[in-house]
Amino acid sequence: MTTYTKYLTFNTRQEHEYINITLEVAEAIEESGVKDGLVYVGSMHITSSVYINDAEDGLLQDIETWLEKLAPARPDYKHHRTGETNGDAHLKNLIMGHSVTCPITRGRLDFGPWQQIYYAEFDGQRPKRLIIKVMGE
């Protein structure tokens, strides 16, 4: 069995950003030499997510609008008593998930034609880390 670990760092210009990281994950799989197994891709933070969906600009705007409705930025979260102002980013993370696991077959992401891996930042403009862990043989 082989394991291979890689870290990425993001420092987004915007507070919210959706970054397609499919190529970076594919690269890590290639570097690992793993031909069959699983790859875990996870945010190391609690105000950003990793999810799988379509690389389509309109949809990314729809997701942003929709998340703002389901988990709105508001001044009155109890979490803000700590001095933080990012309560909504924690809740957006909970809807979208902190990580994905993906199958690897014949050395590649075993994906359908539209699956893309995204890092979704909800509290950016500072360095945030992500971990990729490949496991297989």
**Which residues contact a copy of itself by CB under 8 A?**
1, 3, 5, 36-38, 40, 42-46, 51-54, 56-59, 61-63, 66, 70-71, 77-82, 87, 90-91, 93-103, 105, 110-112, 114-115, 129, 131, 133, 135-137
Choose between 5 and 125: whose C-beta lies nearer to a copy of itself: 5
Shortest distance in whole angstroms from residue 101 CB to a copy of itself: 6
Shortest distance in whole angstroms from residue 48 CB to a copy of itself: 10
Shortest distance in whole angstroms from residue 25 CB to a copy of itself: 14
Q: Where are the alpha helices (DSSP H) in 51-129?
A: 57-70, 87-96
Q: For residue 48, which phi and psi values (nearest 5 degrees)?
A: -145, 155
**6 - beta bridge partners?**
132
120 near 48, Cβ under 8 Å?
Answer: yes
Collapsing DSSP to helix, strand or coil, 36 comes out as: coil
* Residue type present at position 26: A
